[in-house]
Amino acid sequence: MLRIYDTRTRKAETISPTSGVVRMYSCGPTVYRFAHVGNLRTYLLSDLLRRVLEARRTRVRTCQNITDVGHLVDDAETGEDKILLQARAEGRSTLDVARFYEDAFRRDCAALNVRPADVTPRATETIDLMIELIVKLMEKGHAYAVPDGSVFFAAETFPTYGEISGNRLDALKPGHRGEGVDPRKRFHADWALWKQSGRDFTWETPWGGTGFPGWHIECSAMSMRFLGEHIDLHTGGIDLRFPHHEDERAQSDAAAGHEVVRHWVHGEHLLFDGRKMAKSTGNVVLLQDVTDAGLDPLALRLAFLEQRYRQQVNLSWDILRAADRTLRRWRARVAEWAESPSAPMSAGHATRVLESFEDDLDTPAGLRVLRELERDPAVPPGAKFETFLHLDHLLGLDLSSEIGKAPALPPGAAELLGRRARAREARDWAAADRLRDELSRMGVKVADTPGGQTWAVGR
């Protein structure tokens, strides 16, 4: 069974399905710019959880929102909407900008083999759900409207606020959100569910006036509508713990009358060359930058797998290039092993890899088992082939992509390659040289690398 660290309980919890299916909600992108590689690491988290659960034949239903309205600059309570600001900068309509960056996000996820969620609702297309939820919160006494048509959540009506981040209401200082205290609020830590506005891109409300939703209410409304009031997993980046996930939890639980999300899971920050990724520091790296550097986009996925999701990672171009070399070597090996006689999968290695992934996504441990399998002379090439392809359902690295691209090995060459690999493991260099010469006469050129031997036919 999958065990994963729960941010709210501060310990690893076993994930078991509710009513036969694990329901997982993932905070999606605000579509006003290209996602950088740090953002993409967070979206890989939910993909890995889904793959691990499905490896044990657990049904998973996933939902990931698209925020195309309501997310203000610097995540503040006041100010400009990020998408409106970008639309003005680019001289395009708000929806044009939102759809452009949404499409770019989907392409990046596809390039990383991050599978799309079962449901991907957009905020602009689910405003009715948010208004319905706000009305329910008002009726239950958890929210209040002010004369201008804005609506605030009454934070003091939710006494367990702060269980995710540790930021309790009695410790929050006025102005903690980065602006002065709004005089319309009954309590300084209340937050806006709906913002009255006369700008473009607004909707009418039953309590009067026009406006647009707050960022936090979007996730509460969409998660409960598409997954129900019992959600097993909720994922996101560590920066969303506060205020976004604290506010979301308060809204959802107050409306439902019980704990909606069983487990909150957060991925850590990504640094690049030792610095946080930001425009101001000039080190924002996009997936397009990775491919422009001649690297396979899945080298980025492999580089992420080399580290635990809860570990702050310092990525660099050297790390990406090393991951690219490993990826290409594994694909060449799989293509090489495909020419060998079929053999049963190495169940012991496969089980160890899966158990590593199930242990709070200890992906580095799983990769160490793979490297051990790659070098193990006791495992036939055909068994390595079956095992690597089976585990690629977890890894998502397209390890079979080189099969059939290279010329087939001549009859008997696969056996000689296996014998030569074992000779090198035994440090029998004379035998390894003799076998290389024999392979060369068959038209198979063999080269030795730090990762082991590689081969090519007719080159």
Per-residue confidence (pLDDT) for residue 182, from 0 to 100 = 86
Residue for token pair 């635990």:
308
Domain ranges of the chain: 3-267, 410-459
**Higher pLDDT pick, 122 / 274:** 122
Per-residue confidence (pLDDT) for residue 55, from 0 to 100 = 96
Cα-flanking dihedrals φ and ψ of residue 59, to 5°?
-70, 135
268 annotated as ligand-binding? no
Residue in 197, 198, 174 with CA at minimum distance from that of residue 186: 174
Per-residue confidence (pLDDT) for residue 176, from 0 to 100 = 56
* Burial class of residue 296 (count of CB atoms within 10 Å of its CB; 0-12, 13-18, 19+): buried
Per-residue confidence (pLDDT) for residue 61, from 0 to 100 = 97
Q: Residue 75 — very low, low, confident or very high, per pLDDT cuts 50/70/90?
A: low
Q: Residue 19 — very low, low, confident or very high, per pLDDT cuts 50/70/90?
A: confident
Residue in 308, 10, 14, 255 with CA at minimum distance from that of residue 135: 255
Averaged confidence pLDDT in the chain: 93
Identify whether the C-beta of residue 407 lies closer than 8 Å to the C-beta of residue 455.
no
Q: Tell whether the torsion through CA atoms of 158, 7, 285 and 299 is positive or negative.
A: negative
Per-residue confidence (pLDDT) for residue 70, from 0 to 100 = 87
Q: Which two tokens stand for residue 21?
A: 């299916």
Average pLDDT over residues 193-203: 89
Structure confidence by residue, pLDDT tens digits, 210-252: 999 999 999 999 999 999 999 999 999 999 999 999 999 999 9
390 annotated as ligand-binding? no
Residue for token pair 């003091």:
156
What H or E segment, with its residue span, contains residue 13? strand 11-14
Rounding to the nearest 10 degrees, give the CA dihedral for residues 129, 133, 136, 141.
-160
The C-alpha atoms of residue 46 and residue 62 are separated, in whole angstroms, by 9
**pLDDT over 60 at 459, yes or no:** no
Query: Is the pTM here over 0.75, yes or no?
Result: yes
The C-alpha atoms of residue 364 and residue 266 are separated, in whole angstroms, by 18
Structure confidence by residue, pLDDT tens digits, 299-314: 999 999 999 999 999 9
248 annotated as ligand-binding? yes
Structure confidence by residue, pLDDT tens digits, 380-431: 999 999 999 999 999 999 999 998 775 667 878 888 988 998 999 899 999 9
Q: What CATH architecture applies to the domain 3-267?
A: 3-Layer(aba) Sandwich (3.40)
Q: Which two tokens stand for residue 43?
A: 């979206």
244 annotated as ligand-binding? yes
* SS3 state of residue 196: strand
Residue in 268, 251, 272 with CA at minimum distance from that of residue 260: 251
Structure confidence by residue, pLDDT tens digits, 58-70: 999 999 999 999 8
